[in-house]
A and B are shown apart, each in its own frame.
Chain A
Amino acid sequence: MAAPKPRVKIPKSAAAGEVVTIKTLISHDMESGQRKDKDGNVIPRQIINKFTCEFNGKPVFTCDVEPAISANPYFEFTAKVMESGTFKFAWVDDNGETYTHEQAIEVK
């Protein structure tokens, strides 16, 4: 699996108090631990097990992820923005790595 790449879509600007839609995607095989290789050995589980989104340091949305979530996990959710700031996203891998992404939004 190549290094997981996150992609996030948020509007560049919003009005104060507006609810914006955030779309997130990360490339990841999400190996469930259910598959067997051609020799019959179980392919070990390796998934993104947690996704978090914060805005200006405060948690907005978190997802506890199980192997039933499809490969290249997609999460779409909303956030109510009152001021300008930065969204921080993090995806935690079973192998201990965390992949992060930041994106700013201007709130008028």
Chain B
Amino acid sequence: MQVTRRQALGLSLGLSAGALAIVALGPGLNAARADEAATDKSLMELTGGKTPEMGKITLNAPEIAENGNTVPISISVDSEMTESSYVESVTLLADGNPNPAVATFHFSPMSGEATATTRMRLAKTQNVVAVAKMSDGSVFMDKKLVKVTIGGCGG
């Protein structure tokens, strides 16, 4: 069958549109993977390569954040907080923000309890991760997905 010019044009347009779509999608996909990769890298640097266990630390974050500019979050770690056994630090990471680092809380036996509350910016729907480093070297984490309706990067 002979291909008409109309058919040939349609075919080539379709092919190039498809190619463009893949190219357009590519950077988007890479960006998403880059955010998670950056967060994983921060996590590994933080723990010295150790994989954190789940448990002991609880991260409280809203399921839906109405305003990404100010999202209340709190952490609480199950610990005696005595000179011999306490939480040294808790680090917060956000895997969809321009930079994953959010804050690191440093506690001491004088803290009484290893709890802290603050407000953070979330650029879009993403996971917030909390990593606790204990005085004995053990590392624990908790993770929560927060849906964001209005992003908090001020743009």
Give the size range of B's interface with the partner. Answer: 20 to 34
Once the chains bind, are B113 and A63 in contact (CB under 8 Å)?
A: no
Find out whether the CB atom of B99 lies under 8 angstroms from the CB atom of A75. no
Inside 8 A of A65's CB, which chain B residues have their CB? 103
Contact A69 B111 (CB under 8 A): no
Q: Is A61 a contact of B120 with CB atoms below 8 Å?
A: no
Q: Are A61 and B107 in contact (CB under 8 A)?
A: yes
Query: Is B61 positioned at the interface, with any CB of A under 8 Å from its CB?
Result: no
**Chain B positions within 8 Å of A67 at CB level:** 99, 121
- Is A34 a contact partner of B98 (Cβ separation < 8 A)? yes
* Complex contact A64–B118 (CB within 8 A): no
Q: A34-B155, A66-B103 are in contact. Are A80 and B121 (CB under 8 A)?
A: no
A-B contacts, CB under 8 A, total: 101
Across-interface contacts of A63 in B (CB, < 8 A): 103-106, 116, 118
The answer to the question of B85 belonging to the interface, with a C-beta cut-off of 8 Å to chain A, is no
Chain B residue nearest to A35 (CB atoms) is: B154
Is the Cβ of B120 less than 8 Å from the Cβ of A70?
yes
Decide if A79 touches B118 in the complex (CB within 8 Å). Answer: no
A75 CA to B115 CA, complexed, in Å: 11
A61 to B101, CA, bound (A): 19
Please, how many angstroms separate the alpha-carbon atoms of A107 and B55 in the complex?
A: 34
User: CB distance A74 to B118 under 8 Å?
Assistant: yes
A sample of 7 cross-chain residue pairs with beta-carbon separation below 8 angstroms, ordered by A number, consists of: A32-B154, A35-B153, A66-B102, A67-B99, A68-B103, A70-B121, A80-B110
